[in-house]
Structure 1
Amino acid sequence: MAPSSLQRARPMDTATPAPLARLRQARKHYGATCALDGLDLELHAGQVLALLGPNGAGKTTAISLLLGLHAPDSGTAELFGLPPQAMEARRRTGVMLQTAGIPDTLQVRELVALTCSYYRDPLPVDECLALAGLEDVAGRRYGRLSGGQQRRVQFAMAVCGRPQLLFVDEPTTGLDIDARQRLWQAIRMLAAQGCGVLLTTHYLEEAEALADRVAVIDRGRLLAQGSVEQIRARVSQRRIGCLSVLDPAQVATWPEVHEARTGHGGRLELVASGAETVVRRLLAEDPALTELEVRRAGLADAFLALTARPEHATDRKEAA
């Protein structure tokens, strides 16, 4: 993957702290359904922001407001300090949504070349193909590609205009491990060169691997935001593993133990909120216990804890 052409992208104005994209107290209703309820969100240059939430949380609505596909009922949406519909803002933005109306009959190279033609200073077509790992299918018709290959074509089309701001909505759905890793590498490289990336994903390991900041929303409201470390720190749970003769069903009844099971290799694996107390009891109940390991909660644990609170546990009817 040759980064030389990407490095010629427009320099970012480091003296200006204003965000590339911003929602301020954005509200949006679809009939009686509240999709966004006073959402504040910012994305800065060189940052990968993961927007996370369960189905119906408001993620797609937030993106549609930032892209100017819908207008907020109240509050504001801005790209580069401009209305999202402004042509100058759109020229600096790349978009990869979950659905795309792309002609099945055009070849991959033709699609990328056509998209490049819309921009004043696009990336070379071959570089777009390389970024998305499409060299081997460049001559194939889009309709003959697998779902994962089509997602990679959509990514190539999103980055061909050297975007300063990139929206990627569930970018690696349908991709195999190698293709996913290659796409992750391309996103990291774009961010390192100053592009701001707004990522939505259901793969929490993807958010953990890529994001500088995470925003968790539910029912159109912001529940938490910060670095991955800050989000993880909000959860007191720990994962405990060991080799033990103790019965997981019995351990699961202990105070502060939320889950206990037999894992890989016959290990006893626990999720507990009081690690010190639980570890002390484990050692007391089984002095022969070995290979004890205590790990803090991951982003997935934090996400589940944030979105499973009683006030967010009701059936969700809001739009995505």
Structure 2
Amino acid sequence: MKTSPSTTNQQAASSPPASAAALRLQGVHKSFHTNQGPFEAVAGIDLEVGTGEIVAFLGPNGAGKTTTIDMMLGLTVPTSGTITVFGRTPRAAVEAGEISAVLQTGGLLRDLTVRETVTAIAALHGAKERIDTVMERTDIMSLAKRKVSKCSGGEQQRLKFALALLPDPRLLILDEPTAGMDVSARRSFWATMRQDAVAGRTVLFATHYLEEAQEFAERTVLIGAGRVLADGPTAQLREMTGGRVVSALLPTGRPTTPAVQALRAVDSVSSVRLTGQRVLVTGPDSDAAARMLLNELGATDLEITTPTLEAAFMALTGEES
């Protein structure tokens, strides 16, 4: 089939560049007018997410997460700065079916059955052929005849997930996606997400389950006060709290002060805490601390633990545990 030059130019204008990032935010600000005056919810975010990444988007309440997600989806526009999804505006990407979302807000029609709900939304997307595929993929086929009002919170989340998959989006934005799911359903959900990421789908999710981000996200973005506080591999962010913690029991019958002073003199030790005979040593080189405790100080019951993402979250956002 031949195309005219004008047709070719129109296609080029409507198609995003092949090298476009899945998601790019550049200098994004968002302000609102309140009774107390202007409030800047997002104070300058720069972020780029590549194709096939699974990224956790974390921050305390009021950090600007929801506002940022709304802008990513074209539900609101930045006061300044730009957002693109595969080279398009968010609204154009939504219309093209390249981005979908599972949000906490937005209800389902309670009097419809699960299959009727999926069928209705599939008709809007012109994706009737995907009904069975997404229902099987999200494990809701057994709920097909059940009314939405009779579904549990976790089952309704799985239904929302099915609806989001209908246009076969290249980017999924998930806001607390596993809220209400039991442990088994959460693990099944993330197994599906990993398979999709391997196939090239990009996933960005906000969650309050820090262990979920720690286990399933390759990369974590921490935000606070409308800005990116940290962005990097999840394992690397965990180390930002000062390294591993070495715990051991110092020998009874000996003064503990010399032992604590010796540990604090080690270059790789960041902090030393003492509770009775139990000493906690934090630092990037846990091996050096362990050798001193065992070989020089005669300590016993030694344990080495890796810092959690929760610890990094608390340290970087200033939240109290």
Identify whether the pair has TM-score above 0.5, normalized to the shorter chain: yes
1:21-69: CA deviation from partner (whole Å, max 9, x where unpaired): 2211000011222111110112221111111111111111111111111
Moved more, 155-164 or 123-132: 123-132
Structure 1 residue 224, shift from structure 2 partner? 1.1
Matching residue of 1:17 = 19
1:113-134: CA deviation from partner (whole Å, max 9, x where unpaired): 2222222446632221222222
Q: Which has the higher contact order (CA 8 A, sep 6+)?
A: 1
Structure 1 residues 88 and 276 mapped into 2: Cα distance closer, same or farther (>3 Å)?
closer
Structure 2 residue 303 is matched with structure 1 residue 301: no
Structure 2 residue 105 is matched with structure 1 residue 103: no
Letter in 2 for 1:43: V
Within 1, Cα distance between the matches of 2:248 and 2:143?
47
**Aligned pair partner of 2:159 in 153, 164, 169:** 153
Q: Percent identity?
A: 36
Q: 2:222, 2:228 within 8 Å by CA — same for their partners in 1?
A: yes
SS at 2:174's partner residue? strand
Structure 1 residue 83, shift from structure 2 partner? 1.7
Within 2, Cα distance between the matches of 1:119 and 1:271?
57
Matches of residues 73-222 of structure 1 in structure 2 within 5 Å? Answer: 73-86=79-92, 89-121=95-127, 124-222=130-228
SS at 2:241's partner residue? coil
SS at 2:90's partner residue? coil
Structure 1 residues 17 and 244 mapped into 2: Cα distance closer, same or farther (>3 Å)?
farther
SS at 1:117's partner residue? helix
Q: 2:93, 2:99 within 8 Å by CA — same for their partners in 1?
A: no
The CA RMSD over aligned residues, in Å, is 3.2
Moved more, 203-212 or 228-237: 228-237
Letter in 2 for 1:215: V
Structure 1 residue 300, shift from structure 2 partner? 2.1
Q: 1:223, 1:306 within 8 Å by CA — same for their partners in 2?
A: yes
Q: 2:114, 2:147 within 8 Å by CA — same for their partners in 1?
A: yes
SS at 1:36's partner residue? strand
Moved more, 147-156 or 230-239: 230-239
Matching residue of 1:27 = 29
Q: 2:56, 2:206 within 8 Å by CA — same for their partners in 1?
A: yes
1:194-235: CA deviation from partner (whole Å, max 9, x where unpaired): 111111111122112222221111000111111113323333
Matching residue of 2:72 = 66
SS at 1:46's partner residue? coil
Within 2, Cα distance between the matches of 1:54 and 1:139?
39
Within 2, Cα distance between the matches of 1:204 and 1:80?
28
Structure 2 residue 13 is matched with structure 1 residue 36: no
Structure 1 residue 135, shift from structure 2 partner? 2.6
Structure 1 residues 259 and 72 mapped into 2: Cα distance closer, same or farther (>3 Å)?
farther
Structure 1 residues 168 and 260 mapped into 2: Cα distance closer, same or farther (>3 Å)?
farther
SS at 2:108's partner residue? coil
Structure 1 residue 154, shift from structure 2 partner? 0.8
TM-score by length of 2: 0.79
SS at 2:66's partner residue? helix
**Aligned pair partner of 2:53 in 29, 47, 50:** 47
Structure 1 residue 187, shift from structure 2 partner? 0.9
Matching residue of 1:287 = 298
Structure 1 unaligned regions, length at least 5 = 1-12, 263-267, 315-320
* Aligned length in residues: 289
Letter in 1 for 2:282: A
Q: 2:251, 2:298 within 8 Å by CA — same for their partners in 1?
A: no
Letter in 1 for 2:243: Q
Within 1, Cα distance between the matches of 2:128 and 2:248?
54
More helix per residue: 2
Matches of residues 215-294 of structure 1 in structure 2 within 5 Å? Answer: 215-242=221-248, 257=271, 270=280, 272-273=282-283, 275=286, 279=290, 282-283=293-294, 287=298, 289-290=300-301, 292-294=302-304
SS at 1:60's partner residue? helix
Q: 1:79, 1:89 within 8 Å by CA — same for their partners in 2?
A: no
SS at 1:234's partner residue? helix
